Amino acid sequence: MTWHPREEAAIRAGVEPDYVDHLVDLGIIVPALPGRFSVGDVRRMLMVRSLEDAAIPLEHLAEAFRDGSLSLDFLDTPAYERFATYAGETFREVSRRTGIPLELLTAVREAIGSPEPSPDDLLREDEMAVIPLLELHVSGDFSVSAGEQLLRVYGESVRRIAEAEGAWWNSQVVKPALTAGKNVGDWADAELAARSTPLAEQAVLGLYHAQQARAWTANFIEAFETLMAEAGIHSMLERPPAICFLDITGYSRLTQEYGDEAAADLAATMARLVQRGAVRHGGKPIKWLGDGVMLHFRDPGPAVRAALEMVSDLGRVSQFA
Protein backbone atom coordinates (compact mmCIF):
# COMPACT_ATOMS: atom_id res chain seq x y z
CA MET A 1 0.00 0.00 0.00
CA THR A 2 1.14 3.53 -0.79
CA TRP A 3 1.47 5.91 2.16
CA HIS A 4 1.75 9.69 1.93
CA PRO A 5 3.20 12.01 4.57
CA ARG A 6 0.93 14.77 5.85
CA GLU A 7 2.16 17.50 3.49
CA GLU A 8 1.95 15.32 0.37
CA ALA A 9 -1.49 14.03 1.35
CA ALA A 10 -2.68 17.63 1.69
CA ILE A 11 -1.33 18.50 -1.78
CA ARG A 12 -3.00 15.48 -3.36
CA ALA A 13 -6.30 16.35 -1.70
CA GLY A 14 -6.02 20.02 -2.66
CA VAL A 15 -6.22 21.20 0.96
CA GLU A 16 -3.94 22.84 3.49
CA PRO A 17 -1.97 20.64 5.96
CA ASP A 18 -3.86 22.30 8.84
CA TYR A 19 -7.11 21.07 7.30
CA VAL A 20 -5.75 17.52 7.39
CA ASP A 21 -4.90 17.98 11.07
CA HIS A 22 -8.42 19.25 11.75
CA LEU A 23 -9.99 16.19 10.10
CA VAL A 24 -7.78 13.92 12.18
CA ASP A 25 -8.66 15.81 15.37
CA LEU A 26 -12.37 15.42 14.58
CA GLY A 27 -11.94 11.71 13.97
CA ILE A 28 -13.15 12.02 10.38
CA ILE A 29 -9.79 10.77 9.08
CA VAL A 30 -8.21 7.99 11.15
CA PRO A 31 -4.80 7.17 9.67
CA ALA A 32 -3.54 3.63 10.23
CA LEU A 33 -0.06 5.04 10.88
CA PRO A 34 0.63 8.33 12.69
CA GLY A 35 1.32 11.08 10.17
CA ARG A 36 0.96 8.69 7.21
CA PHE A 37 -2.09 8.61 4.96
CA SER A 38 -3.32 6.03 2.47
CA VAL A 39 -4.79 6.70 -0.96
CA GLY A 40 -8.20 6.00 0.57
CA ASP A 41 -7.53 8.63 3.23
CA VAL A 42 -6.77 11.18 0.51
CA ARG A 43 -10.02 10.30 -1.27
CA ARG A 44 -11.85 10.77 2.02
CA MET A 45 -10.30 14.24 2.34
CA LEU A 46 -11.57 15.07 -1.16
CA MET A 47 -15.04 13.76 -0.36
CA VAL A 48 -15.25 15.57 2.99
CA ARG A 49 -14.23 18.84 1.35
CA SER A 50 -16.98 18.33 -1.24
CA LEU A 51 -19.51 17.63 1.52
CA GLU A 52 -18.37 20.74 3.38
CA ASP A 53 -18.66 22.80 0.18
CA ALA A 54 -22.24 21.52 -0.02
CA ALA A 55 -22.89 23.32 3.31
CA ILE A 56 -22.65 20.25 5.56
CA PRO A 57 -20.69 21.33 8.68
CA LEU A 58 -17.64 19.26 9.59
CA GLU A 59 -18.88 18.89 13.16
CA HIS A 60 -22.09 17.25 11.92
CA LEU A 61 -20.10 14.91 9.70
CA ALA A 62 -17.83 13.99 12.60
CA GLU A 63 -20.84 13.16 14.77
CA ALA A 64 -22.35 10.99 12.02
CA PHE A 65 -19.06 9.13 11.57
CA ARG A 66 -18.71 8.58 15.34
CA ASP A 67 -22.18 7.08 15.80
CA GLY A 68 -21.89 4.96 12.65
CA SER A 69 -24.58 6.75 10.65
CA LEU A 70 -22.06 7.51 7.92
CA SER A 71 -18.86 5.88 6.71
CA LEU A 72 -16.42 6.56 3.91
CA ASP A 73 -14.60 3.23 4.21
CA PHE A 74 -15.83 2.23 0.74
CA LEU A 75 -13.43 4.78 -0.76
CA ASP A 76 -10.60 2.32 -0.07
CA THR A 77 -11.82 0.00 -2.82
CA PRO A 78 -10.39 0.06 -6.39
CA ALA A 79 -13.82 0.91 -7.83
CA TYR A 80 -13.40 4.44 -6.46
CA GLU A 81 -10.01 5.08 -8.10
CA ARG A 82 -11.82 7.48 -10.44
CA PHE A 83 -11.90 9.96 -7.52
CA ALA A 84 -8.67 11.44 -8.81
CA THR A 85 -6.24 13.22 -6.54
CA TYR A 86 -4.06 16.15 -7.51
CA ALA A 87 -0.75 15.62 -9.27
CA GLY A 88 2.44 17.42 -8.40
CA GLU A 89 2.60 19.79 -11.39
CA THR A 90 0.82 23.03 -12.18
CA PHE A 91 -0.70 23.94 -15.52
CA ARG A 92 2.17 26.36 -16.12
CA GLU A 93 4.79 23.70 -15.36
CA VAL A 94 3.17 21.11 -17.61
CA SER A 95 2.85 23.68 -20.40
CA ARG A 96 6.57 24.46 -20.19
CA ARG A 97 7.52 20.78 -20.02
CA THR A 98 5.36 19.63 -22.94
CA GLY A 99 5.04 22.70 -25.13
CA ILE A 100 1.24 22.55 -24.95
CA PRO A 101 -0.20 26.10 -25.04
CA LEU A 102 -1.76 27.14 -21.75
CA GLU A 103 -5.10 27.96 -23.37
CA LEU A 104 -5.35 24.39 -24.68
CA LEU A 105 -4.14 22.86 -21.43
CA THR A 106 -6.59 24.76 -19.23
CA ALA A 107 -9.41 23.73 -21.59
CA VAL A 108 -9.03 20.21 -20.14
CA ARG A 109 -10.48 21.31 -16.81
CA GLU A 110 -13.21 23.32 -18.50
CA ALA A 111 -14.13 20.21 -20.53
CA ILE A 112 -14.68 18.37 -17.25
CA GLY A 113 -17.16 21.09 -16.26
CA SER A 114 -15.02 22.95 -13.73
CA PRO A 115 -14.17 26.67 -13.77
CA GLU A 116 -11.16 27.79 -15.78
CA PRO A 117 -8.04 27.18 -13.67
CA SER A 118 -5.20 29.61 -13.10
CA PRO A 119 -1.78 28.72 -14.55
CA ASP A 120 -0.47 27.96 -11.06
CA ASP A 121 -3.25 25.52 -10.12
CA LEU A 122 -2.30 21.84 -9.85
CA LEU A 123 -3.58 19.35 -12.41
CA ARG A 124 -5.46 16.27 -11.24
CA GLU A 125 -4.34 12.76 -12.09
CA ASP A 126 -7.29 12.25 -14.43
CA GLU A 127 -6.40 15.45 -16.26
CA MET A 128 -2.83 14.24 -16.66
CA ALA A 129 -4.21 11.29 -18.64
CA VAL A 130 -5.26 13.75 -21.39
CA ILE A 131 -1.77 15.23 -21.78
CA PRO A 132 -0.36 12.64 -24.27
CA LEU A 133 -3.22 13.32 -26.70
CA LEU A 134 -2.60 17.06 -26.48
CA GLU A 135 1.13 16.50 -27.03
CA LEU A 136 0.30 14.61 -30.23
CA HIS A 137 -2.00 17.44 -31.26
CA VAL A 138 0.75 20.02 -30.77
CA SER A 139 3.40 17.93 -32.52
CA GLY A 140 1.14 17.72 -35.57
CA ASP A 141 0.83 21.52 -35.64
CA PHE A 142 -2.97 21.29 -35.53
CA SER A 143 -5.17 24.27 -34.68
CA VAL A 144 -5.47 25.08 -30.97
CA SER A 145 -9.12 26.06 -31.43
CA ALA A 146 -9.83 22.70 -33.09
CA GLY A 147 -8.24 20.97 -30.11
CA GLU A 148 -10.34 23.00 -27.67
CA GLN A 149 -13.50 22.13 -29.58
CA LEU A 150 -12.62 18.42 -29.51
CA LEU A 151 -12.06 18.57 -25.76
CA ARG A 152 -15.41 20.29 -25.23
CA VAL A 153 -17.21 17.59 -27.22
CA TYR A 154 -15.39 14.83 -25.33
CA GLY A 155 -16.27 16.48 -22.05
CA GLU A 156 -19.93 17.10 -22.87
CA SER A 157 -20.41 13.58 -24.21
CA VAL A 158 -18.88 11.78 -21.24
CA ARG A 159 -20.68 14.16 -18.86
CA ARG A 160 -24.01 12.99 -20.25
CA ILE A 161 -22.89 9.36 -19.97
CA ALA A 162 -21.72 9.81 -16.37
CA GLU A 163 -24.87 11.68 -15.33
CA ALA A 164 -27.14 9.05 -16.88
CA GLU A 165 -25.14 6.31 -15.18
CA GLY A 166 -25.29 8.19 -11.88
CA ALA A 167 -29.05 8.60 -12.19
CA TRP A 168 -29.40 4.85 -12.84
CA TRP A 169 -27.26 4.03 -9.77
CA ASN A 170 -29.27 6.43 -7.63
CA SER A 171 -32.66 5.04 -8.68
CA GLN A 172 -31.71 1.37 -8.84
CA VAL A 173 -29.18 0.99 -6.00
CA VAL A 174 -29.10 3.93 -3.58
CA LYS A 175 -32.79 4.74 -3.14
CA PRO A 176 -33.94 1.11 -2.73
CA ALA A 177 -31.17 0.56 -0.16
CA LEU A 178 -32.11 3.68 1.78
CA THR A 179 -35.79 2.75 1.66
CA ALA A 180 -34.90 -0.66 3.07
CA GLY A 181 -32.99 0.99 5.92
CA LYS A 182 -29.61 -0.32 4.82
CA ASN A 183 -26.38 1.33 5.91
CA VAL A 184 -23.98 3.35 3.79
CA GLY A 185 -21.84 0.32 3.00
CA ASP A 186 -24.81 -1.36 1.34
CA TRP A 187 -25.87 1.52 -0.83
CA ALA A 188 -22.30 2.40 -1.78
CA ASP A 189 -22.02 -1.31 -2.74
CA ALA A 190 -18.32 -1.43 -3.56
CA GLU A 191 -18.66 -5.02 -4.80
CA LEU A 192 -21.33 -4.12 -7.35
CA ALA A 193 -19.33 -1.04 -8.39
CA ALA A 194 -16.22 -3.18 -8.85
CA ARG A 195 -18.14 -5.63 -11.05
CA SER A 196 -20.15 -3.12 -13.05
CA THR A 197 -17.50 -0.47 -13.71
CA PRO A 198 -15.26 -2.47 -16.09
CA LEU A 199 -18.35 -3.80 -17.88
CA ALA A 200 -19.72 -0.27 -18.31
CA GLU A 201 -16.36 0.97 -19.60
CA GLN A 202 -16.23 -1.97 -22.02
CA ALA A 203 -19.74 -1.17 -23.26
CA VAL A 204 -18.99 2.54 -23.73
CA LEU A 205 -15.77 1.76 -25.60
CA GLY A 206 -17.61 -0.67 -27.88
CA LEU A 207 -20.28 1.92 -28.68
CA TYR A 208 -17.57 4.55 -29.21
CA HIS A 209 -15.75 2.32 -31.69
CA ALA A 210 -19.01 1.71 -33.56
CA GLN A 211 -19.61 5.46 -33.82
CA GLN A 212 -16.00 5.94 -34.97
CA ALA A 213 -16.54 3.41 -37.74
CA ARG A 214 -19.61 5.34 -38.93
CA ALA A 215 -17.83 8.72 -38.86
CA TRP A 216 -14.67 7.41 -40.50
CA THR A 217 -16.68 5.69 -43.24
CA ALA A 218 -18.45 8.98 -44.00
CA ASN A 219 -15.04 10.69 -44.30
CA PHE A 220 -13.80 7.96 -46.66
CA ILE A 221 -16.89 8.24 -48.86
CA GLU A 222 -16.52 12.01 -49.15
CA ALA A 223 -12.78 11.79 -49.86
CA PHE A 224 -13.15 9.00 -52.44
CA GLU A 225 -15.96 10.85 -54.23
CA THR A 226 -13.77 13.96 -54.41
CA LEU A 227 -10.74 12.06 -55.74
CA MET A 228 -12.77 10.21 -58.37
CA ALA A 229 -14.49 13.44 -59.43
CA GLU A 230 -11.12 15.15 -59.84
CA ALA A 231 -9.93 12.20 -61.92
CA GLY A 232 -13.02 12.42 -64.16
CA ILE A 233 -14.13 8.92 -63.15
CA HIS A 234 -17.19 9.82 -61.12
CA SER A 235 -19.44 12.87 -60.93
CA MET A 236 -20.36 13.96 -57.43
CA LEU A 237 -24.07 14.49 -56.93
CA GLU A 238 -24.59 17.62 -54.87
CA ARG A 239 -27.31 16.89 -52.35
CA PRO A 240 -28.53 19.78 -50.22
CA PRO A 241 -29.15 18.60 -46.67
CA ALA A 242 -32.49 18.97 -44.92
CA ILE A 243 -33.34 20.16 -41.41
CA CYS A 244 -36.51 18.87 -39.81
CA PHE A 245 -38.08 20.18 -36.60
CA LEU A 246 -40.56 18.02 -34.73
CA ASP A 247 -42.72 19.90 -32.24
CA ILE A 248 -44.65 18.07 -29.52
CA THR A 249 -47.83 19.97 -28.72
CA GLY A 250 -48.90 19.62 -25.10
CA TYR A 251 -45.50 18.72 -23.63
CA SER A 252 -45.41 21.74 -21.31
CA ARG A 253 -49.04 21.19 -20.31
CA LEU A 254 -48.32 17.54 -19.45
CA THR A 255 -45.39 18.58 -17.26
CA GLN A 256 -47.51 21.11 -15.40
CA GLU A 257 -50.44 18.76 -14.89
CA TYR A 258 -48.71 15.45 -14.14
CA GLY A 259 -45.23 16.42 -12.93
CA ASP A 260 -41.63 15.84 -13.88
CA GLU A 261 -41.81 12.04 -13.76
CA ALA A 262 -44.51 11.94 -16.42
CA ALA A 263 -42.52 14.43 -18.48
CA ALA A 264 -39.41 12.24 -18.19
CA ASP A 265 -41.35 9.18 -19.35
CA LEU A 266 -42.74 11.15 -22.26
CA ALA A 267 -39.28 12.42 -23.20
CA ALA A 268 -37.86 8.88 -23.11
CA THR A 269 -40.67 7.60 -25.35
CA MET A 270 -40.18 10.50 -27.71
CA ALA A 271 -36.43 9.95 -27.86
CA ARG A 272 -36.81 6.27 -28.80
CA LEU A 273 -39.35 6.94 -31.54
CA VAL A 274 -37.46 9.89 -32.98
CA GLN A 275 -34.10 8.10 -32.94
CA ARG A 276 -35.50 5.02 -34.69
CA GLY A 277 -37.43 7.05 -37.25
CA ALA A 278 -34.48 9.27 -38.08
CA VAL A 279 -31.92 6.46 -38.39
CA ARG A 280 -34.21 4.47 -40.71
CA HIS A 281 -33.95 7.32 -43.21
CA GLY A 282 -30.31 8.34 -42.77
CA GLY A 283 -30.91 11.18 -40.32
CA LYS A 284 -29.97 11.99 -36.77
CA PRO A 285 -31.23 14.23 -33.94
CA ILE A 286 -28.90 17.18 -33.47
CA LYS A 287 -30.68 19.29 -30.85
CA TRP A 288 -33.28 18.55 -28.21
CA LEU A 289 -35.40 21.53 -27.20
CA GLY A 290 -37.68 20.37 -24.40
CA ASP A 291 -40.91 20.21 -26.37
CA GLY A 292 -39.30 19.41 -29.70
CA VAL A 293 -36.27 18.12 -31.54
CA MET A 294 -34.23 19.29 -34.52
CA LEU A 295 -32.99 16.63 -36.95
CA HIS A 296 -30.47 16.60 -39.80
CA PHE A 297 -30.82 14.52 -42.98
CA ARG A 298 -28.40 14.25 -45.88
CA ASP A 299 -31.28 14.20 -48.37
CA PRO A 300 -34.61 16.10 -48.37
CA GLY A 301 -36.67 13.15 -49.69
CA PRO A 302 -35.95 10.75 -46.82
CA ALA A 303 -36.40 13.68 -44.40
CA VAL A 304 -39.99 14.15 -45.53
CA ARG A 305 -40.73 10.43 -45.25
CA ALA A 306 -39.13 10.30 -41.79
CA ALA A 307 -41.15 13.30 -40.59
CA LEU A 308 -44.44 11.74 -41.72
CA GLU A 309 -43.56 8.42 -40.07
CA MET A 310 -42.55 10.06 -36.79
CA VAL A 311 -45.78 12.08 -36.63
CA SER A 312 -47.72 8.86 -37.23
CA ASP A 313 -45.70 6.93 -34.59
CA LEU A 314 -46.11 9.67 -31.98
CA GLY A 315 -49.82 9.89 -32.71
CA ARG A 316 -50.17 6.30 -31.54
CA VAL A 317 -48.72 7.17 -28.14
CA SER A 318 -51.57 8.10 -25.79
CA GLN A 319 -49.90 11.20 -24.31
CA PHE A 320 -49.74 12.81 -27.76
CA ALA A 321 -53.25 11.92 -28.84
Q: What is the pLDDT of residues 123-182, one digit of tens each?
A: 999 999 999 999 999 999 999 999 999 999 999 999 999 999 999 988 888 888 888 887
pLDDT value of position 9: 95
Bridge partners, residue 37, by sequence: 4
Write a three-state SS string for the chain.
Answer: CCEEEHHHHHHHHCCCHHHHHHHHHHCCCCCCECCEEEHHHHHHHHHHHHHHHCCCCHHHHHHHHHCCCCCCHHHHCHHHCCCCCEEEEEHHHHHHHHCCCHHHHHHHHHHHCCCCCCCCCEEEHHHHCCHHHHHHHHHCCCCHHHHHHHHHHHHHHHHHHHHHHHHHHHHHHHHHHHHCCCCHHHHHCHHHHHHHHHHHHHHHHHHHHHHHHHHHHHHHHHHHHHHHHHCCCCCCCCCCCEEEEEECCCHHHHHHHHCHHHHHHHHHHHHHHHHHHHHHCCEEEEEECCCEEEEEECCHHHHHHHHHHHHHHHHCCHHHC
pLDDT digits (tens, 9 = 90+) for 178-205: 888 877 666 666 778 888 889 999 999 9
Alpha-carbon span 2 to 9, nearest angstrom? 11
Q: Which of 31-45, 70-84, 114-128, 257-271 has the lowest mean pLDDT?
A: 257-271
Nearest to 107 by CA among 135, 141, 156, 147: 147
Taking 60 as the threshold, does the pLDDT of residue 319 lie above it? no
Buried b (16+ CB within 10 A) or exposed e, 282-309: ebebeeeeebebebbbebeebbeebbeb
Taking 70 as the threshold, does the pLDDT of residue 236 lie above it? no
pLDDT value of position 310: 82
What's the chain's Rg over C-alpha atoms? 25
25 CB-near residues (< 8 Å, 6+ apart)? none
Cβ contact 295:285 at 8 Å: yes
Question: Which one is predicted more confidently, 184 or 63?
Answer: 63
Q: What is the mean pLDDT of residues 256-285?
A: 76
Q: What is the mean pLDDT of the chain?
A: 86
Q: pLDDT tier at 250 (50, 70, 90 boundaries)?
A: low
With a pLDDT cut of 70, the percent of the chain lying above it is 89
**Domain boundaries of the chain, sorted by first residue:** 3-80, 88-180, 189-238, 242-320
Taking 80 as the threshold, does the pLDDT of residue 242 lie above it? yes
Cβ contact 320:265 at 8 Å: no
Q: What is the mean pLDDT of residues 107-120?
A: 92
Taking 70 as the threshold, does the pLDDT of residue 251 lie above it? no
Q: Where does 242-320 sit in CATH, by number?
A: 3.30.70.1230
With a pLDDT cut of 90, the percent of the chain lying above it is 45
pLDDT value of position 163: 92
Alpha-carbon span 239 to 245, nearest angstrom? 19
Taking 50 as the threshold, does the pLDDT of residue 320 lie above it? no
pLDDT value of position 321: 42
Long-range own/partner contacts, residues 129-137 (CB < 8 A, 24 or more apart): 131/94, 131/98, 131/100, 134/98, 134/100, 134/104, 134/105, 134/108, 135/98, 135/99, 135/100, 137/104
Q: Which of 30-39, 96-105, 277-286 has the lowest mean pLDDT?
A: 277-286
Taking 80 as the threshold, does the pLDDT of residue 258 lie above it? no
Taking 70 as the threshold, does the pLDDT of residue 237 lie above it? no
Cβ contact 248:292 at 8 Å: yes
300 CB-near residues (< 8 Å, 6+ apart)? 240, 241, 242
Q: What is the mean pLDDT of residues 78-83?
A: 86
Q: What is the mean pLDDT of residues 41-70?
A: 92
pTM of model > 0.85:
no
Cβ contact 291:251 at 8 Å: yes
Alpha-carbon span 321 to 317, nearest angstrom? 7
pLDDT value of position 96: 97
